[in-house]
Amino acid sequence: MEEKPKIKKDGQKTALYIIAIILILVALKLAESVLLPLVFAFFIFLLFNPMLNRMEKLKIPRYLGVLIVMILLLVFLFLAGWFFFFSVDRLVQSLPMYIRRFSVIDGWLSQQLDLESGTSFLSFLNFDWSGIILSSLSSLSGRAITIISRFGLIYIFVLFLLLERQSLIPKLKVAIPDGKGMKVAVMFERINRQISRYLLLKALISAVTGILFYLACLATGLDFALVWGVLAFIFNFIPSIGSIIITSLTVVLALLQFFPSWANIIYVAILMISIQMVLGNILDPRIQGIQLNLSPIVILVSLTLWGFLWGIAGMFLAVPITSILQIVCANVKSLKPFAVLIGSGRSYRRVLAQEQKRNMERAKRRDEREKRRLARTHNSAKEPKV
């Protein structure tokens, strides 16, 4: 009789958890314009935090270190803005030429498939697709105010996070009573250390990927070499999907530029795929597995979820956010099963292997004790009775 109320209570608790998760996701979606710059600023803060630690060890004053970081960030944002408008302008100027190339490929496909005269794939499109593409690229320049305001908000958030850097941990210890402040501080330090290391290594591998893409474009004569190098660097922060997107785009551009020279197209495809195979399938999984302890399927699900909530920006933030959630769940007793489920299982397999090894050693010692006992019994049985 007592089992039914218990089951009913567990079901109600599960339903409340599901409702709470749904409400949180809705709030994240609605508050995107405010939360997204703050989250980006937090991860930029984690990226620069090791540099500030190194400056402190070199006895550089704290405010001077913050000033150096803010100048570096300002230069980076300026270069990012210049690259954005430079790329859009180049694409708008070159788009008519690529549209004509696309028409040539469309005519070739029509001949290969023996379509009727005057019939092609483009003829089935009953709208001005080239005009839509051109107007979309032109409208990006019109969003300059929105983009600059977002960057400005991120810059201000980073500044205040850096200024609060020294006092954050002491305030957590005092604000949270019953000794839990220390536990929260330790958890924050673990998040800081793990995510900072991940972002640094990811940035290094992304930079290598971008440089290799740039050199490959120069070697093959592919247009927009600098653009593809920078885009390869950026999209490499999106696990799996980013490498597929940037490789597909370069192959499509090679098709438009070099058609009907199939040798050049295949050469570009082999180079780009080889770069992504080596860096994306060997180094990236090692970083995600060792540094973040996340399951590959969880990474894909998080990409889908955060991409739905915050678009492309959410896909960039999906992996570090999921890693933070895993660390938080591992430090909350009631949420530890969830942390186990989204983890890679490597640490738990190691624990199970160690436990199995200890059990085997205990069984071995038990067998040796049993053998010695049997030997003593056997020897005592052979002794003559007086």
Of 296, 239, 309, nearest in space to 29 by CA: 309
Give the residue-averaged pLDDT of 316-321: 85
**Given this model, what pLDDT does residue 351 score?**
47
What whole-number distance in Å separates Cα of residue 87 and Cα of residue 140? 11
21's enclosing H/E stretch is helix 3-30
C-alpha angle 202/38/152, rounded to 5°? Answer: 95
What whole-number distance in Å separates Cα of residue 198 and Cα of residue 188? 15
Which is more confident, 92 or 274? 274
- Secondary structure (DSSP) of 153-198: HHHHHHHHHHHTHHHHHHHHHHHSTTTHHHHHHHHHHHHHHHHHHH
HSE-CB at 191 with a 13 A cutoff on CA atoms is 24
Per-residue pLDDT band for 116 (boundaries 50, 70, 90) equals low
State yes or no: pLDDT of 315 exceeds 80. yes
Give yes or no for a contact between 213 and 229, defined as CB atoms under 8 angstroms apart: yes
HSE-CB at 350 with a 13 A cutoff on CA atoms is 4
State yes or no: pLDDT of 247 exceeds 80. yes
Q: Specify the range with the lowest mean pLDDT, choosing from 35-44, 65-74, 190-199, 291-300.
A: 291-300
**Given this model, what pLDDT does residue 1 score?**
46
Give yes or no for a contact between 188 and 173, defined as CB atoms under 8 angstroms apart: no
HSE-CB at 375 with a 13 A cutoff on CA atoms is 6
Residues in the chain: 386
Of 225, 246, 221, 227, nearest in space to 235 by CA: 246
**Given this model, what pLDDT does residue 12 score?**
72
Q: Specify the range with the lowest mean pLDDT, choosing from 98-102, 129-133, 245-249, 350-354.
A: 350-354
HSE-CB at 296 with a 13 A cutoff on CA atoms is 7
What whole-number distance in Å separates Cα of residue 174 and Cα of residue 348? 34
> What is the residue-averaged pLDDT of the chain?
76
**Given this model, what pLDDT does residue 180 score?**
67
**Given this model, what pLDDT does residue 215 score?**
92
Which is more confident, 332 or 123? 332
* DSSP 8-state secondary structure symbol assigned to residue 333: G
Give the residue-averaged pLDDT of 41-50: 85
* Identity of the amino acid at 241: I
318's enclosing H/E stretch is helix 296-330
**Given this model, what pLDDT does residue 374 score?**
65
* DSSP 8-state secondary structure symbol assigned to residue 294: B
Per-residue pLDDT band for 357 (boundaries 50, 70, 90) equals low
State yes or no: pLDDT of 330 exceeds 80. no
The single residue listed with the structure tokens 């495809």 is: 269
Quick check: pTM over 0.85? no
What whole-number distance in Å separates Cα of residue 107 and Cα of residue 104? 5
Of 339, 316, 348, nearest in space to 234 by CA: 316
Per-residue pLDDT band for 122 (boundaries 50, 70, 90) equals low
Encode pLDDT of 144-160 as tens digits.
Answer: 667 777 888 888 988 88
The single residue listed with the structure tokens 């995510």 is: 195
- What is the percent of the chain where pLDDT is above 70? 70
Encode pLDDT of 185-219 as tens digits.
Answer: 777 777 778 788 888 888 888 888 899 999 999 98
- Asked if omega into 260 is within 30° of 0 (cis), the reply is yes
Encode pLDDT of 218-239 as tens digits.
Answer: 988 888 888 889 888 988 888 7
Cα dihedral value 146, 149, 155, 160, nearest 10: -130
- Secondary structure (DSSP) of 57-82: HTT--HHHHHHHHHHHHHHHHHHHHH
- Asked if omega into 5 is within 30° of 0 (cis), the reply is no
B/e letters for 69-82, b = 16+ CB within 10 Å, e = fewer, are beeebeeeeeeeee
B/e letters for 44-60, b = 16+ CB within 10 Å, e = fewer, are bbbbbbeebeebeeeee
The single residue listed with the structure tokens 């597995």 is: 289
- What is the percent of the chain where pLDDT is above 90? 2
State yes or no: pLDDT of 48 exceeds 60. yes
The single residue listed with the structure tokens 């192959």 is: 251
What whole-number distance in Å separates Cα of residue 129 and Cα of residue 95? 12
Give the residue-averaged pLDDT of 23-42: 86
For 221, the token pair is 């004569």
